[in-house]
A and B are shown apart, each in its own frame.
Chain A
Amino acid sequence: EAGVTQSPTHLIKTRGQQATLRCSPISGHTSVYWYQQALGLGLQFLLWYDEGEERNRGNFPPRFSGRQFPNYSSELNVNALELEDSALYLCASSVGGVNYGYTFGSGTRLTVV
């Protein structure tokens, strides 16, 4: 069984540009969660999608957005990039909600210069 896959592995952008990160959940998993892991700050919750709908978002500005497609894959968009957006962005999927735990991908390392 394939795990959660994220692309690209690394992404370098210039301040002010837009970044698009992609995530494919484990087959059969309908929920996708996005987290930001900045250096020394742990895992900060960004967004949760389930059945194509945004269910919850963390304390991040509106320039962080995303969507979930009919095949349950997801996309995270970050507009007007700032230097402090440099971080590892992790995607996780779950089969039956948070009480069944997450499976994480290996992440996308975003560097803003």
Chain B
Amino acid sequence: GENVEQHPSTLSVQEGDSAVIKCTYSDSASNYFPWYKQELGKGPQLIIDIRSNVGEKKDQRIAVTLNKTAKHFSLHITETQPEDSAVYFCAAPTYGGSQGNLIFGKGTKLSVKP
């Protein structure tokens, strides 16, 4: 089965700085890697995802990179804003694909100081 490790567990940055969160996974057959943002009192929300046929994907201030050889993927947030403060989770599928369910990392609490 899949195992997902995420670090750091907490991250504090100044507004305008960049933030990077890293995850590793164990199942080399995994081919889909989403990132979720969870704000206080809400369920996690999908913010970006990447499939194994690309190495990087960007959406405005958010980007995700994937290194399949090393089995790790990272979330990059540039020009951070106070509203980026939340808990971020990475995930990877069990069974390497569409027949499985997502296994989540333990989360990173990001604090953006004004």
Chain A residues in contact with chain B, CB under 8 A? 4, 33, 35, 41-43, 45, 48, 55-56, 90, 92, 96-99, 101-107
Interface size class of B (residues with CB under 8 A): 20 to 34
Q: Which residues of B contact A43 (CB under 8 A)?
A: 44, 89, 104, 107
Count the A-B residue pairs with Cβ separation under 8 angstroms: how many? 64
- Kindly identify which residue among A102, A106, A107 contacts B46, using a CB–CB cutoff of 8 Å: A102
CB <8 Å contact, A99 and B43: no
Determine the distance from Cα of A48 to Cα of B107 in the docked complex, in whole angstroms: 21
Q: Which residues of B contact A106 (CB under 8 A)?
A: 41-43
Chain B residues in contact with chain A, CB under 8 A? 31-32, 34, 36, 41-46, 49, 51, 89, 93-94, 97-107
**How close is A47's CB to chain B, nearest CB, in angstroms?**
9
